Structure 1
Amino acid sequence: MVDVQIFSTKTELQTSTGKFIAKKAREAILDHGYFSIAFSGGSVASIAPAGLLELPDVLNLDFSKWKIYFCDERYVELSHSDSNYNAVNQNFISKVKGILKQNIYTINPNLSLEEARKDYEDKLKSSLDDGKSIDLLLIGMGPDGHICSLFPGHRLLDVSDCLVASIADSPKPPSCRITLTYAAVNSAKCALFIVAGSGKAVVAQKVLEENENNTIPAARVKLTSGTTHWFLDSDAASHLTQKK
């Protein structure tokens, strides 16, 4: 199931994103005692945290029961400016109280790329009740339709025998990365695309309205169960022919 919502401004998109995440967090904690969320980098790493921090009741969220993951990560030191963890930490983790250090699951850049891949997959499997189903993925999309570090035409699009893959030839720098595969993405309980800006408008229209034989990476997000939500600002939705 796919739900599409369009907001007139990026500010409204941000506010609605924060409210949506908080709602999912409360539901998950009530259901199974914790809330697992995976962040993407780029604009998602700023929009989602800003939306959460502006909530008037943000302090009432039980962050001690949050488990934080990353949809993909650049193979760099966690303090590096390219690190998705670093962006989320600066914009969110460091600004709230209660998130437990042991509940923040990052790559280990001191390992080899393949060892870091396996280590991250092991963390995923050991920290989730069923070993694979994250409560909420926050997904960004590039102008080429890539998600996580799954790029158009790349061999990783067809990887199905692992939850986490490594890539050493990313078409977008840095070249070495670690990413969730579709095996992990489509096992999530809920996915939220957060898409802003006119630069995403053409590909958003193709993903949402040209479903037949669609090979764009974002179009291959098809959750086994649960709903995929798209939150777009008016610029990103400007090429849609059917306004939701």
Structure 2
Amino acid sequence: MSVLGGDKDKELRIHESLDELGTDLADYIAELSETSVKERGVFALAISGGSLIGLMGKLCEAPYNKTVDWAKWYIFWADERVVAKNHADSNYKLAKDGLFSKVPIVHSHVHSINDSVSAEEAANEYEFAIRQLVKSRVISVSDISDCPKFDLILLGMGSDGHIASLFPNHPVLDEKNEWVTFITDSPKPPPERITFTLPVINSASNVAVVVTGDSKADAVHLAIDDVGPDCPLVPARIVQPTKGKLVWFLDKPAASKLDGFQFSD
């Protein structure tokens, strides 16, 4: 693994292989979990879908399956498709099948959306549930806004630079008042989704963006490098935690167009 552009608020971790990335990601999550449980008694984690779940798979293996304090985990979704929980497009199903059914997480600590209502209602209900858990201190609250402060938000990124369900040039990028909002016109199917807003993502104690593959290399470049004003502004570039730490987990193909990055033989 190599580290580029590390400053106190942002770190780039570039990995030789997906296996190395998966191990590093599991170490990172396990360490944050341990720290959070020691400090707060709980670990509030929000995740997205896609290939991210598979890359978290090493958490189901030794030593993590035995050493992580799974009973203290509270799981949320940074975005979700408004489909039935058993639907192939469901981020909940993806995470349950690939991860949470394999480790001893408390079922009542897994907070999925209501899949039997409209996208707008689902977003409103999800925000209400999060507000209740902020009141009970399961989720911290930002000391510079009223936003929830998740211990960790884990995100993937699309080849268009979208994160969660915040797509380029979409009006929800400008949403400042809601914690959870909805869209009915996703450029990628399915069209109806709920998503955390940027203020919530940027209020987290830690944000990790996990990206692999050369199809994402251009978007990684636009999200991270100092690009000119004529370049498109991708949503991933606006992920800048206000007081938290941002870590990018990349494989070499995803990092291949970063300024200053060279493949080593």
TM-score, scaled to structure 1: 0.95
* 1:43-62 aligned within 5 A: 43-48=51-56, 50-62=57-69
* 1:69-108 aligned within 5 A: 69-97=76-104, 99-108=105-114
Q: Determine the structure 2 residue equivalent to 1:39.
A: 47
Greater than 4 Å deviation, 4+ residue runs: 211-214
Counterpart secondary structure, 1:229: strand
Q: Determine the structure 1 residue equivalent to 2:130.
A: 124
8 Å Cα contact 2:30/2:64 also seen in 1: no
8 Å Cα contact 1:19/1:55 also seen in 2: no
Letter in 2 for 1:126: Q
Unaligned runs of 5+ in 2: 1-8, 134-138, 142-146
Counterpart secondary structure, 1:77: coil
CA distance in 2, matches of 1:9, 1:129: 35
CA distance in 2, matches of 1:82, 1:151: 18
Q: CA deviation at 1:124?
A: 1.4
Unaligned runs of 5+ in 1: none
Q: CA deviation at 1:125?
A: 1.6
CA distance in 1, matches of 2:242, 2:227: 17
8 Å Cα contact 1:18/1:55 also seen in 2: no
Letter in 1 for 2:233: T
TM-score, scaled to structure 2: 0.88
Q: Determine the structure 2 residue equivalent to 1:67.
A: 74
8 Å Cα contact 1:15/1:54 also seen in 2: no
CA distance in 1, matches of 2:226, 2:162: 16
* 1:234 aligns to 2:252 (yes or no): yes
Aligned length: 242
Letter in 1 for 2:96: N
* 1:201 aligns to 2:178 (yes or no): no
* 1:212-227 aligned within 5 A: 213=229, 215-227=233-245
CA RMSD of aligned residues (A): 1.4
